[in-house]
């Protein structure tokens, strides 16, 4: 019978250690790496943002930035936030920065995540986040024969090289290459094109470099619409005045026509049927015969006794004064047996009311 070989003691200890290590590694939960790492860098302001899918709240993130030109670490820090400001340690320069991010949970770390970014014009590419400096105060003037532009020199009177830049019009892919020395306070230029070729709006993009640092800006350019001016308002006012004047003229003309028709038709109405106004009374029809004048030739009133009437000269009464006072002889009432003798005031009143014979009444 063959017995199994016995391992020496050192070999047994080594095997047991390996077994324990494998068991501990098997029970360790890995840390998820950061996700969606994004770097926003413009005009010297540089920020990094990311997400993390881990459920633990004790996760720390380690950030390390290395400069490409010399391999030096320019930034090293830990944070529990999902963003960090790195502007002070990553100044715009003609170089590339390597941004390394790692998640830590206790002594366990995740896989590193890396993102490169640069302000250099020569390091543009899909794998590198391109940063740029702003071109300040781009001013655009649209004219009939082209587009003029101007902007202050970003590095005026500084010890830098010339600014070489390209102006790009997006609607026809036209590009204009220009340069601006540091002695020039303002950089300017003009693109020759017909403004009518711009249907609605286009974009003018200025892109250049100073000392290898990228500068860029863009602005929308729209075809100017000619102003209508105030003439529609003036036209509306003139039309309103003409319409009102026409209406007033029609009303005045209608009144004149109606008045003329009435005057002409009144000629065919007999004079005796024409209505006349009596002062102090309503309009009545006059009798067919009228008294043109009334004159009293006697000194006695027609309805007064000789004793009550003062001596007066004959008075001419105009026709308008007595339009309806035509007098006719009234026969005296014959005495009857029923009449009773009267005396005093009643007898006198009765005598005064009896008409006297008309003398000298002229009817003209």
Cβ(233)–Cβ(214) under 8 Å?
no
Give the chain's largest Cα–Cα span: 200
Residues 40, 46, 47: CA angle, nearest 5 degrees: 65
Beta strands in 193-282 (DSSP E): 201-210, 213-222
**Would you say the pTM of this structure is higher than 0.75?**
no
The three-state secondary structure class of 69 is: coil
| Closest by Cα among 132, 38, 63, 127 to 93 | 132
The Cα 324–Cα 339 span in angstroms is 33
Q: Which of 130, 145, 168 is the last residue of a domain?
A: 130
Say if residue 120 is in the same domain as residue 143.
no
Cβ(201)–Cβ(220) under 8 Å?
yes
Q: Is 236 inside a domain boundary?
A: no
Could you give the count of Cα atoms lying within 13 Å of 341 in the half-sphere of its Cβ? 1
Cβ(180)–Cβ(206) under 8 Å?
no
Say if residue 81 is in the same domain as residue 101.
yes
Q: What is the domain range of residue 157?
A: 133-222
Q: Is 27 inside a domain boundary?
A: no
Q: Which residue has the higher pLDDT, 305 or 251?
A: 251
- Stated as kind and residue range, the H or E segment containing 152 is strand 146-152
Say if residue 170 is in the same domain as residue 153.
yes
If one counts the domains in the chain, the total is 3
Tell me the pLDDT band of 313, cut-offs 50, 70 and 90.
low
Cβ(62)–Cβ(78) under 8 Å?
yes
Residue 280 phi, psi dihedral angles, 5° rounding? 80, 10
Q: Which of 102, 130, 158 is the last residue of a domain?
A: 130
Residue 155 is predicted with a pLDDT of: 82
Q: What is the rounded average pLDDT for all residues in the chain?
A: 74
Say if residue 137 is in the same domain as residue 103.
no
Give the residue-averaged pLDDT of 100-128.
Answer: 90
Residue 181 has pLDDT above 80, yes or no: yes
Tell me the pLDDT band of 17, cut-offs 50, 70 and 90.
low
Q: Is 85 inside a domain boundary?
A: yes
Cβ partners under 8 Å of residue 287, min gap 6: 324
Q: Is 144 inside a domain boundary?
A: yes
Q: For residue range 60-74, what is the model confidence (pLDDT) as tens digits?
A: 999 999 999 999 999
Q: For residue range 314-331, what is the model confidence (pLDDT) as tens digits?
A: 555 555 544 454 454 555
Using a 10 angstrom Cβ sphere, with 0-12 exposed, 13-18 middle and 19 or more buried, the burial of residue 245 is exposed
Say if residue 118 is in the same domain as residue 137.
no
CATH of the domain at 44: 2.60.40.10
Q: Which residue has the higher pLDDT, 357 or 162?
A: 162
Q: Which of 130, 156, 173 is the last residue of a domain?
A: 130
Tell me the pLDDT band of 84, cut-offs 50, 70 and 90.
very high
Strand order in the sheet with 139-143: 139-143, 146-152, 186-192
Q: Which residue has the higher pLDDT, 348 or 115?
A: 115
If you count them, how many residues does the chain have? 364
Q: Is 2 inside a domain boundary?
A: no
Q: For residue range 242-300, what is the model confidence (pLDDT) as tens digits?
A: 998 898 888 888 888 887 777 777 666 566 655 665 555 555 445 554 555 555 555 54
Strand-pair partners of 146:
143, 192
Torsion of CA 275, 281, 282, 287, to 10 degrees: -40
Cβ(358)–Cβ(327) under 8 Å?
yes
């Amino acid at each position: 019978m063959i017995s199994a070989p016995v391992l020496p003691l050192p070999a047994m200890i080594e095997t047991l250690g390996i077994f324990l290590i494998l068991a501990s590694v098997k029970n360790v939960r890995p840390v998820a790496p950061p996700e969606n790492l994004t770097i926003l860098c413009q005009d010297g302001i540089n920020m990094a943002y990311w997400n993390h899918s881990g459920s633990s709240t004790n996760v720390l993130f380690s950030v390390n930035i290395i400069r490409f030109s010399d391999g030096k670490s320019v930034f090293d820090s830990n944070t529990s936030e999902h963003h960090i400001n790195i502007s002070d340690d990553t100044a715009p320069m003609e170089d590339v920065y390597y941004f390394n991010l790692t998640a830590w949970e206790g002594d366990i770390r995740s896989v590193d995540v890396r993102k490169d970014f640069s302000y250099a014009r020569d390091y543009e590419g899909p794998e590198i986040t391109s940063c740029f400096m702003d071109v300040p105060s781009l001013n655009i003037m649209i004219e009939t024969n082209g587009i003029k532009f101007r902007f202050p020199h970003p590095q005026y009177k500084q010890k830098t090289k010339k600014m070489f830049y390209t102006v790009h019009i997006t609607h026809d892919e036209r590009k204009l290459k220009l340069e601006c020395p540091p002695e020039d306070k303002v950089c300017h230029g003009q693109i020759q094109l017909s403004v009518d070729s711009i249907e609605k709006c286009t974009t003018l993009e200025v892109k250049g470099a100073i000392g290898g640092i990228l500068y860029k800006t863009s602005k929308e350019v729209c075809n100017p619409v000619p102003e209508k001016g105030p003439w529609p308002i003036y036209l509306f006012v003139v039309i309103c005045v003409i319409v009102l004047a026409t209406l007033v003229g029609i009303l005045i003309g209608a009144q004149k026509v109606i008045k003329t028709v009435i005057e002409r038709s009144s000629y065919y109405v007999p004079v005796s049927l024409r209505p006349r106004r009596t002062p102090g009374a309503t309009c009545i029809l006059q009798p067919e015969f009228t008294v043109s004048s009334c004159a009293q030739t006697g000194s006695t009133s027609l309805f007064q006794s000789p004793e009550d009437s003062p001596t007066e000269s004959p008075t001419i009464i105009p026709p308008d004064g007595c339009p309806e006072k035509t007098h006719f002889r009234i026969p005296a009432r014959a005495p009857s047996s029923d009449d009773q003798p009267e005396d005093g005031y009643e007898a006198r009143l009765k005598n005064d009311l009896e008409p006297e014979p008309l003398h000298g009444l002229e009817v003209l």
